[in-house]
Structure 1
Amino acid sequence: MTRFRQAVRTLLRSEILDAAYQLVTDEGWAGLRVAPVARIAGCSRQTVYNEFGTNAKDAIGLALVEREAEHFLLGIQAQLDAHRASLEEAATAGVGFVLRRAVDNPLIRSVLTAARGGQDDELLAYLTTRPEPVFDTATTMLDAYAADAWPEVDAVSRSLAVETIVRLTVSHIVQPAADPEESARRIAVITTRIAYPGKA
């Protein structure tokens, strides 16, 4: 595939996902259908199927969550970089960023509202029970970052700490137990104690 054709395909995919994002945030996951996506994106239904396959709705849902996860991970990395001297401070900043952004994120808000109202929880599975893209991507990124930033943490403790912070953060997105700052502080304390068990 030529560079031009690849650029056109990337742009088309982005426009389709933008259209799907608009529909999901306006009407919920149940409102996502190929025909309206194609109309908003300015392409044919067949183009959408060509890009995302015969099971286009699920593929689009996965792609939407992957795209949001990438945005969140970029923000998390910036927070970690700014607090690299202390794992606990970095964890507090990173988790706080995620929890605050999740409250205002239209896609997450739409998914959680639909699930809590008993309307539809298919897309919620990408945040909770399916390992990809949230758990696998976040775990891989954070494990690599932690190994570089805090090499004194042994591999087993690091792995446990990373899994804990990812799962607890997602849990607090889905079912908040306190305000974002307090939740972030508590998750960071738990994570730090797992990473440094001798200092607990």
Structure 2
Amino acid sequence: MATRFRHKVRSLLREQVLDAAYAQVAAEGWGKLGIAGVARAAGVSRQTVYNEFGTKDAIGLALVEREAERFMIGIAAELDAHRESLEAAATAGVTFVLRAAADNPLIKAVMTSARGGDEHLLTYLTTRGEPVFDTATAMLDAYATDAWPEVDAESRSLAVEAIVRLTVSHIVQPLAAPEQSAARIAKITARIAYPDWQRPG
């Protein structure tokens, strides 16, 4: 009982600190984020923040991972609503992500900081983004295995990797309206999942 209580308290504390960091990054950018400021905003000591996260980098990674988990919930809802077709589901899921990313205060702060020359937080979406990619890939692979069992394992793996990496690429560097980009990404994903010789009629 005591162990479960301590775990719950620590989880609440972590969320409190991340909420404070999120608000600071959204308002002032990643470059202005500091452990002392986060601690003050969260109503805890600076040592408490250090004990929980250790470094500013760890806070950045935790922020990006938390947003990715929230995005996964929205994606799952879109996939469920379009389960009859892999391409339709992919279009809906990617459209949701690209629209949500465009309106997300943290993502906006990441992009603004990068355009100003500070690409540190952006690396958690790109070159150092493996935890985010791993979370998204595992979720989508499990979903696709259940929803579209006719897709062989290799094609499914390639399709999932393609949709995750292409979507992140379009978040970082939008090339068209979310709906247009999503339709294109979904078409690529469907062609990988269903090579011409096994595409459902």
TM-score, structure 1 normalization: 0.95
Give the distance between the partners of 1:132 and 1:32, measured in 2 at CA.
23
Q: 1:137 aligns with which of 135, 138, 143?
A: 135
Give the distance between the partners of 2:103 and 2:19, measured in 1 at CA.
18
Partner of 2:145: 147
* Residue deviations 1:122-176 (CA, integer Å, cap 9, x gap): 1101111124322111111111111111000011111111011001100000000
Partner of 1:84: 83
Partner of 1:127: 125
Number of aligned residues: 197
Query: Aligned Cα RMSD in Å?
Result: 1.2
| 8 Å Cα contact 1:92/1:187 also seen in 2 | yes
| 8 Å Cα contact 2:123/2:129 also seen in 1 | no
Partner of 1:95: 94
Give the distance between the partners of 1:2 and 1:136, measured in 2 at CA.
29
1:5 to partner: Cα distance = 1.8
Relative to structure 2, which stretch is displaced further, 147-156 or 122-131?
A: 122-131
User: Counterpart of 1:48 in structure 2: which amino acid?
Assistant: V
1:194 to partner: Cα distance = 0.6
Partner of 1:68: 67
Give the distance between the partners of 2:127 and 2:91, measured in 1 at CA.
24
Partner of 1:5: 6
Partner of 2:164: 166
Partner of 2:174: 176
1:66 to partner: Cα distance = 0.8
Structure 2 gap ranges (5+): none
* Residue deviations 1:85-136 (CA, integer Å, cap 9, x gap): 1000000000000000000000000000110121x11110111112432211
Structure 1 residue 115 corresponds to structure 2 residue 114: yes
- Other structure's SS at 2:121 match: coil
| 8 Å Cα contact 1:95/1:184 also seen in 2 | yes
1:2 to partner: Cα distance = 2.1
User: Counterpart of 1:38 in structure 2: which amino acid?
Assistant: A
Counting aligned pairs with the same residue, the percent is 75
- Other structure's SS at 1:25 match: helix
Name segments (4+ residues, structure 1) moved above 6 Å: none
Partner of 1:16: 17
Q: 2:189 aligns with which of 175, 188, 191?
A: 191
Structure 1 gap ranges (5+): none
User: Counterpart of 1:29 in structure 2: which amino acid?
Assistant: W
Relative to structure 2, which stretch is displaced further, 130-139 or 27-36?
A: 130-139
| 8 Å Cα contact 1:69/1:133 also seen in 2 | no
TM-score, structure 2 normalization: 0.95
| 8 Å Cα contact 1:34/1:57 also seen in 2 | yes
